[in-house]
Amino acid sequence: MNLTPSASSVVEGPSAPVTVPRHVAIIMDGNGRWAAKRSLPRVAGHRAGAEAVRRTMQAAVDNGVEVLTLYAFSSENWRRSEDEVSDLKGLMRFYLERELGTLQKEKVRLKLIGEPAAFGNELYDRLQKAVAETASNDRLTLVIALNYGSQAELAAAARALAQGARDGTVDPDTIDIGAIENLLHTRDLPPLDLLIRTSGEVRLSNFLLWQAAYAELHFVDTLWPDFDEAAFAAALAEFSRRQRRFGGR
C-alpha cells in the first residue's frame, strides 16, 4: 500500500458522474446507544449492527467499491465486560457461518487485520478457514479489523525496522515511507480513500491512523445499526463532490 492517490472509478449516474472510492473504511459506532434507546440489552445492538454490516457489504459490491474495511473489534474493546466480549465472539461465530455462502455468491474475499488469534483457537480457526475458502474471490475484498489498534501496528513496524538495523539487514538511511508501509497490515491493499464514522462521534479511535493521512473523512450522526444502503450512497456522493489535493493547491 502507498499513500499516493488511488485511481477511483467513475460511474455514470442519472445527472452527473459519481467518483467511486476504491477503498472505504468504516468505524461502526453506536450499537450500544441504539440498544439503550430501545431498552434492549447491548447484545441486541450488536446483532442489529451485524445486519448493517450485511447491508453495507452488499452496497459496496453494488457500487463497485474494491475494498471495504470494517473496524469490528479494537484492541481497547477487551476493556468491556466479560459477558459483552463473550456475546461478540458468539455473534462472530454465528454470522461467519451464516454469511459464508453470501461471500461466495457475491465473490467477496475475506481478509483479517489485527491480532485475531487472541480470540482463541476455535474461533481463529474458523476465521482462517473462511479466509482460505474465499481467497480466490475478486469482486470485493472485505477486511475485518479484529483486535486491531493502529498505534500497536505502527509500533510493530518500528520494532521490525529497528531489529533489521541492529542485525545489519536494514540501512537506517534508507528507511522511508515505503519501508514503513511494507510492514503494515494493509500493505497489499489500495490506499484508503474514504473513512466513515457513524454515531456522531468525530475521532479516529486508533483506527488506520497512518492509512488515513490523505483519506476523506465523513462523520454521520446515524447509529451504526441504522446505517443502510442510502447512507452508504450518501457517503459516496459526498466523496464524489470533494476535490482531493493530497497536499497540493
Provide the b/e sequence for 42-60 (b: ≥16 CB within 10 Å).
bbbbbbbbbebbeebbbbb
Q: Which of 77, 137, 182, 206 is catalytic?
A: 77
- The answer to the question of whether 248 is labelled as a binding residue is no
- The answer to the question of whether 90 is labelled as a binding residue is no
Provide the b/e sequence for 171-185 (b: ≥16 CB within 10 Å).
eeeeeeeeebbebbb
- The answer to the question of whether 205 is labelled as a binding residue is yes
Phi, psi (rounded to 5 degrees) for 40: -110, 160
Mapped onto helix, strand or coil, the DSSP state of residue 223 is: coil
- The answer to the question of whether 38 is labelled as a binding residue is no
E-strand stretches of the chain:
9-12, 17-20, 23-27, 67-74, 108-114, 140-148, 194-197, 216-219
- The answer to the question of whether 42 is labelled as a binding residue is yes
- The answer to the question of whether 46 is labelled as a binding residue is yes
Half-sphere exposure of 128 (CA within 13 A, CB side): 10
- The answer to the question of whether 8 is labelled as a binding residue is no
Judge whether 29 counts as a catalytic residue.
Answer: yes
- The answer to the question of whether 31 is labelled as a binding residue is yes
> Cα separation of 119 and 106, whole Å?
27
Judge whether 77 counts as a catalytic residue.
Answer: yes
- The answer to the question of whether 99 is labelled as a binding residue is no
- The answer to the question of whether 238 is labelled as a binding residue is no
> Cα separation of 123 and 132, whole Å?
14
> Cα separation of 29 and 137, whole Å?
28
Nearest by Cα to 27 from 214, 192, 243: 192
- The answer to the question of whether 173 is labelled as a binding residue is no
- The answer to the question of whether 34 is labelled as a binding residue is yes
Q: Which of 2, 29, 137, 206 is catalytic?
A: 29
> Cα separation of 167 and 162, whole Å?
9
- The answer to the question of whether 217 is labelled as a binding residue is no
Name the residues annotated as catalytic: 29, 77
Which positions make up the binding site for substrate?
Answer: 30-34, 42, 46, 74-76, 78, 80, 197, 203-205
Which positions make up the binding site for Mg(2+)?
Answer: 29, 216
Which positions make up the binding site?
Answer: 29-34, 42, 46, 74-76, 78, 80, 197, 203-205, 216
